[in-house]
Amino acid sequence: MITSEEIKASLTKALPVSLIETQDLTGGGDHWQLIVVSPAFEGKGLVDQHRMVNDALKAEIGDQRIHALALKTFSPAQWEKLGS
């Protein structure tokens, strides 16, 4: 089990992050939906963006504190276009 705060700390340690939104999908702390906005995603495809997030959470995924991730990743420009 992992907390939202721990996920945010790991991501901000690894990536320059403009926004992180977390949602515990099952209440058990191991299935998460994340929205991550980072300037590091500029010019990167969706697969590369998701790899960057997975790499940032490698330890948490490896030790099974995170069992499943549903990712939505955006560059700041993409996020702005969404009007979010």
Q: What is the pLDDT of residues 9-34, one digit of tens each?
A: 999 999 999 999 999 999 999 999 99
The CATH number covering residue 68 comes to 3.30.300.90
Q: Which amino acid is at 35?
A: I
Q: How many domains does the chain have?
A: 1
Domain assignment of residue 47, yes or no: yes
Domain assignment of residue 84, yes or no: no
Q: How far apart are the first and last CA of the chain?
A: 29
Q: What is the pLDDT of residues 32-66, one digit of tens each?
A: 999 999 999 999 999 999 999 999 999 999 999 99
57: which DSSP letter? T
Strands (E), the chain: 19-24, 31-37, 68-74
| Farthest CA pair distance, the chain | 36
Radius of gyration of the chain (CA): 12
